[in-house]
Homo-oligomer: A and B are copies of this chain.
Amino acid sequence: MKAEDKRPVVKLSCAAPAAEFTQITLSHGSGGTQMRQLLQQYVFECLNNDWLQKQEDAAILQVEGPFAFSTDTFVVSPLFFPGGDIGDLAVNGTINDLAVSGALPQYLSLAFILEEGFSSASFLRILQSIRRCCAAAGAAIVTGDTKVLERGKGDGIFINTSGIGRLRVGVQLGVSFLKDNDCLLVSGPLARHGIAVMSRRKGIGFETSIQSDTQPLHEICGMLSDALGTDLHLMRDATRGGVGTILHEITSQSRFSAEIEESALPVEQEVAGACEMLGLDPLFVANEGVFVAAVAAHKATEALALLRSHRFGQQAALIGRLRSDLRAPVVLNSTIGGRRVLPPMRGELLPRIC
């Protein structure tokens, strides 16, 4: 099977196809002639590679040693927002799930649910984002699927990506590796993605220069784990639910509490203003290019310097530490000198943020 069909990659352009249609129709999901046209003219044209060209039911891959496997579905609304679109999220989201697991992202699947009437121009624009993000992350779309819903049964486009990546040598990440007094770092400023999406949402929209932070974290995560080895105990990307939710996840899955310094939280001024206006706590607003790391206390300064040396980590911060002697899961020392318990998020702050 591996020897099969070594046709060269013919083309990597991603121009608009000779438009035979301007909207997705039900027949694009039929498995028949029109679906093949959609795949050929749009998907394969844009994401061309040997695996996709074979058009088999599965891609044949090989990974030496242990690998990470992750999945994520994207239903963000609106589809296009300042700093990105659903295509960026779909690639970077899964890249980042692999990256924080200590893996080097390699192979992605790509599955579309399209709504009848969705514009082919928007589809092409999203495919171009997918192509760009895959190239930036050095990952390839190797297998896929397309379904079409009747008008009114979906909302334009939903995307699932699943991903595979070889585990980096020597990483040991997970809640079971956490230690008392571990330092907690965040790799960048909070809440940008959530606020950027909300700024374009119907009924809420406001003028802002805030852009989504959607970006691939494999490089910065890899740099950190290579430098720290087993002194890096855990990484989690702080998407839905934000950094606050990650802190609650970590503490609920381990025997530790988290003590956080509010004054250390990196929140850009315009983001802070928007959060105040919307009544949101930036700790619980989504990011798409920020992760939380727990590192051995004696490596905290080195880790912070490393993160800040990377273009995606310039505003990294040491925000607190793990403790085994606190009663509440997450405690916040506030900027005005108070000390309060940070409750987990209940209800839904920002539906369809990713």
Residues of chain A having any CB pair with chain B under 8 Å: 1-5, 25-27, 29-34, 36, 54-63, 65-75, 77, 96-98, 100-103, 107, 109-113, 142-145, 147-150, 152-155, 158, 160, 162-164, 167, 171-177, 236-237, 239-241, 245, 249, 252-253, 284, 286, 344-352
In the complex where A66-B2, A110-B71 touch, is A351 in contact with B160 (Cβ < 8 A)? no
Smallest CB separation, A230 vs chain B (Å):
10
Smallest CB separation, A345 vs chain B (Å):
4
**In the complex, chain B residues whose CB is within 8 Å of the CB of A344:** 32-33
Chain B minimum-CB-distance residue to A96: B57
In the complex where A29-B351, A58-B70, A347-B32 touch, is A160 in contact with B111 (Cβ < 8 A)? yes
Contact A111 B345 (CB under 8 A): no
**In the complex, chain B residues whose CB is within 8 Å of the CB of A4:** 172, 174, 176-177
Given A1-B167, A54-B174, A63-B67, 5 new contacts (CB under 8 A): A4-B172, A26-B348, A34-B347, A111-B162, A147-B352
Contact B113 A240 (CB under 8 A): no
**In the complex, chain B residues whose CB is within 8 Å of the CB of A31:** 239-241, 245, 286, 345
In the complex where A55-B249, A97-B57, A154-B155 touch, is A27 in contact with B346 (Cβ < 8 A)? yes
Smallest CB separation, A316 vs chain B (Å):
19
Assembled-state Cα–Cα distance A154/B157 (Å): 11
Smallest CB separation, A96 vs chain B (Å):
8
Contact A98 B58 (CB under 8 A): yes
Q: DSSP majority for the A interface?
A: mixed
A to B CB contacts below 8 Å, 19 in the list:
A1-B172, A4-B176, A5-B176, A29-B240, A32-B346, A33-B345, A56-B101, A56-B173, A60-B69, A69-B107, A69-B164, A71-B144, A71-B162, A75-B113, A75-B147, A77-B153, A113-B113, A145-B160, A153-B155
Chain B minimum-CB-distance residue to A241: B31
**In the complex, chain B residues whose CB is within 8 Å of the CB of A36:** 252
Assembled-state Cα–Cα distance A43/B162 (Å): 19
